[in-house]
Structure 1
């Protein structure tokens, strides 16, 4: 008998919210298309731009994030290659096999997700999704929708971490360096007291919240309940690489075949890359972290982990398919970001809201503004480029440290990811394969976390110091 209850039971509040979300929230692509139309309408209503101007801005914005989309897709696929190795997968599954109670499974998933996401946004989703999936396959009394929600919500502190887009952006020379008053190092953002304390508070608070949500659940939908007939190929689960068989034309023991199967070429390049990374960070320290170095790190570690170049290429090609939603939707959000920036809509909205601010409320209002705008522009870099030219000077007018305004923008941008399905695309390819799981099946469980995280960050911005 399925673990999914077949009787009518009185569900908990969190289950009712999740059910409502699953029933009414559209697919992430539909969400992006609807937001495009809304952005166009707002630009026509609140700015002097005509239909041609708005469409011009949209057209210019579509390719604006091509480079960024490729960076993200490349980094994510390279990170998947690292995990797509038997030893790494076996290690994750071994850890999952040591967990025997559902509550422990939920807590372990959240803590692991937070730690790995803080280290790297490109690491957290891969490791956590595989870990959650492995646990759910082993334990029939784990709700797969809930553990998927826990895995995804743990991502909320990712962009305040070591690979955070905005902290890396303000730490690197760029078009807004003068606007923000010079470079702002990671020691003032990612590793500030305010950020580290608030991140710890979020991990504790969300863990406790999900503990009570899990304890009050009346309906358990297991992995087996959602699994489709036939499952998935064993190679997809175990990290096996395609394209490693015999060369049917050249034979199985030719010189080319032996070179293809040799680890020497890929290991040599991997070691060269590792040596350079040691040198590079010895020279530059944390200031050397940016999107390009993060991608290079993922590539080099993958070279060191995979057994040969052919296995690496096959794994990369297979995992690149998982980034299709990123490659498709990022340009769409680039168009939205361009509408906000080129028509002046972002300035109109921020100026209107900032006009009612005071020195005491400015950081909170900035946090809320960027949280709302994140629904339209979930790319942290794009949103920062669109809003920083208005919000940074506004903070300066109230005598607020530019670093605090940058952190308010950072927190607001990440905050509403808990109800914006775009970044769930990083988890979905792993969580959903071989199942009927949909993004909207688990996003509803993140709504209470949205409220808790919002309160913590507002308190942190207003009462915690950047440094002791």
Structure 2
């Protein structure tokens, strides 16, 4: 055995042992994601009581209510995020896309190759649409598990989910898209400065796309070396294909003919595409939802097939719908100021983290703060609504008001949110719903992705102020 081979096996063995340690601790201490959100709510209440001057129980209840059902409720943004997920899932279930994913899943010969494929599919599709990427990675993992039943299914699902770490640099990046839309309620930069930040100053900057390539390469190596030796088989019910609904014999009724009239989907697609062209190819959250909706309709061919696929996809959003109100309440508590012009908890946390920064280090400290706040608000756009005002105000206070620098500040928040998702289980829920697994069977592997992402994206944010 060569020295290189021996060192290679030693490094792989160390990573496998560290991964196994992470898996064991997650299995012991990670509660169900819903209970995780409840515990975070209790923690935020305690922090508000301790750190916010004049905080009272009635005031905290009112702030919590305002974030869930009141004037500052999360419903509009929550519906947008759910629609991005559901339209992405519906597109992934289109026959032509599904056949392509199955063809890809037939290539791997072992679980490592399968995991790398899941990661590649999840990453590439997340750059197009995060909802599509979340679902596509899980669907490929499901097909790989069908062909390789002795593989560790949690490892495959985790590998697909790791691709989600690059979504904030893709075309459905909610923060970057909001920066371009003056009507967006989360366009914090426009609200505070009157400026719009084009995508050329955010996702198309080298500090944004270079770490995407580097992280994909490094995570590919990590996935190879963390492969578990034990097996975790998928639930056999996952592979039972639902039978298409039967219809009565005889000629189709008028309603059935309408349901199968493919030209209606073509007209819907043409109308959506026409509007997109007329708007000047404007990319924002609304246009992304529209494009994926009409493209999904076109690829499903008939209206009834599209309706059924959309209904199936909507089931994956159930756990998110259960938890979004809790995180809306957390956002309300984070923004609660008990006295007029007094500090709120999000301000206390953010200002404490960026204190002592200068223009070179402010984006990095904002990135650190983003990771912390993402544990409480695991939604890119919602998170930007919480941390964005502090980030922009800090930049303006240092005389940094260029679109490039403000765009960097927004991406610092986005980067932190992206890697925090590897240790915050909220966005893992759709994949878990597809796989019929629990969070403890998957998240131990994603801790490695968090550590890798912290180093790579952190370095990018440190270097960026010197090159923009």
Q: Which TM class, normalised by the smaller chain length?
A: 0.7 to 0.9
The aligned counterpart of 2:340 is: none
TM-score, with structure 1 as normaliser:
0.87
Q: Contact conserved, 2:360 with 2:466, CA < 8 A, in 1? A: no
Cα offset, 1:428, TM superposition = 1.9
Q: Which has the bigger relative contact order, CA under 8 A and spacing at least 6?
A: 1
Picking from 419, 422, 427, the partner of 2:423 is 419
Picking from 81, 93, 107, the partner of 2:116 is 107
Structure 1 pair 326–440 and aligned structure 2 pair: CA distance change class (3 A)? same
Measure, in 1, the Cα distance between the counterparts of 2:50 and 2:321.
30
The aligned counterpart of 2:247 is: 246
Picking from 282, 305, 312, the partner of 2:306 is 312
Cα offset, 1:298, TM superposition = 1.3
Work out whether 1:193 is the aligned partner of 2:206: yes
The aligned counterpart of 1:272 is: 271
Measure, in 2, the Cα distance between the counterparts of 1:180 and 1:111.
39
Q: Contact conserved, 1:65 with 1:331, CA < 8 A, in 2? A: yes
Measure, in 2, the Cα distance between the counterparts of 1:334 and 1:134.
35
The aligned counterpart of 2:226 is: 213
The aligned counterpart of 2:235 is: 227
Q: Contact conserved, 2:149 with 2:234, CA < 8 A, in 1? A: no
The aligned counterpart of 1:341 is: 335
Picking from 284, 287, 301, the partner of 1:290 is 284
Picking from 407, 410, 415, the partner of 2:414 is 410
Cα offset, 1:12, TM superposition = 2.1
The aligned counterpart of 1:202 is: 215
Residue 442 of structure 2 aligns to a residue whose secondary structure is helix
Measure, in 2, the Cα distance between the counterparts of 1:183 and 1:342.
28
Measure, in 2, the Cα distance between the counterparts of 1:395 and 1:120.
30
Cα offset, 1:232, TM superposition = 5.1
The aligned counterpart of 1:56 is: 62
Picking from 141, 154, 168, the partner of 1:159 is 168
Measure, in 2, the Cα distance between the counterparts of 1:456 and 1:227.
36
Cα offset, 1:254, TM superposition = 2.8
Measure, in 2, the Cα distance between the counterparts of 1:426 and 1:417.
13
TM-score, with structure 2 as normaliser:
0.87
Cα offset, 1:262, TM superposition = 2.8
After superposition, what is the alpha-carbon deviation per residue over 1:309-368, rounded to whole angstroms, capped at 9, x for unaligned? 122222222221221112121121111011111331111122222224344432222111
Cα offset, 1:181, TM superposition = 5.7
Picking from 140, 144, 147, the partner of 2:149 is 140
RMSD (Å) for aligned C-alpha atoms: 2.3
Structure 1 pair 85–410 and aligned structure 2 pair: CA distance change class (3 A)? closer
The correspondence of residues 38-117 of structure 1 with structure 2, limited to 5 A, is 38-47=43-52, 48-63=54-69, 64-117=73-126
**Most deviating of 358-367 and 117-126:** 358-367
The aligned counterpart of 2:30 is: 25
Q: Which runs of 5+ in 1 are unaligned?
A: 1-8
Q: Which runs of 5+ in 2 are unaligned?
A: 1-12, 338-343
Work out whether 1:184 is the aligned partner of 2:197: yes
Q: Contact conserved, 2:269 with 2:298, CA < 8 A, in 1? A: yes
Cα offset, 1:85, TM superposition = 3.1
Residue 253 of structure 1 aligns to a residue whose secondary structure is coil
Q: Contact conserved, 2:112 with 2:223, CA < 8 A, in 1? A: no
Measure, in 2, the Cα distance between the counterparts of 1:71 and 1:447.
28
